[in-house]
């Protein structure tokens, strides 16, 4: 089943994000390689694809997991969690309708 992992950053998270971004992206690449990643990306703090020092306010990942517990376990071990990037992470089942 698909799950949406909706993360909200702590204030001034940019440097924390940058410090562990390669490890975070590696995990997403592993999901992609397994054919389980639907989409992933951050929420810019300003209306720009490259927000610079404004940074980001959170992230959205939609991926396939066996169940909610597996999605939660995957999210809990995200390097962004260990680095203190996220203030809150919400995981919900997701039903893709379009496209």
- Distance linking the first and last C-alpha atoms of the chain: 17
Which pLDDT does position 34 carry in this prediction? 98
- Supply 16's token pair: 């924390």
Nearest to 57 by CA among 37, 41, 38: 41
| Res 91: pLDDT | 98
pLDDT at residue 54, rounded to an integer: 96
- Give 32-91 pLDDT, tens digit per residue: 999 999 999 999 999 999 999 999 999 999 999 999 999 999 999 999 999 999 999 999
Q: How confident is the model at residue 24 (pLDDT cuts 50, 70, 90)?
A: very high
CA gap 24, 20 in Å, rounded: 6
Contact between 7 and 97 (Cβ < 8 Å): no
Contact 45, 52 (CB under 8 A): no
For residue 54, give the DSSP letter. G
- Look at residue 12 in the predicted model and tell me its pLDDT: 95
Distance CA 36, CA 92 (A): 16
CA 42 to chain centre: 7
């Amino acid at each position: 089943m698909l799950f949406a992992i909706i993360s909200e950053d702590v204030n001034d998270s940019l440097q924390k994000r940058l410090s562990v971004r390669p490890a975070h992206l590696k995990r997403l690449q592993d999901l992609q390689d397994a054919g389980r990643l639907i989409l992933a990306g951050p929420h810019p703090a300003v209306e720009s694809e490259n927000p610079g020092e404004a940074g980001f306010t959170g992230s959205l990942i939609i991926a396939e997991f066996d169940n909610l517990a597996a999605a939660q376990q995957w999210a809990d071990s995200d390097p962004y969690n260990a680095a203190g990037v996220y203030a809150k992470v919400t995981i919900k089942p997701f039903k893709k309708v379009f496209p």
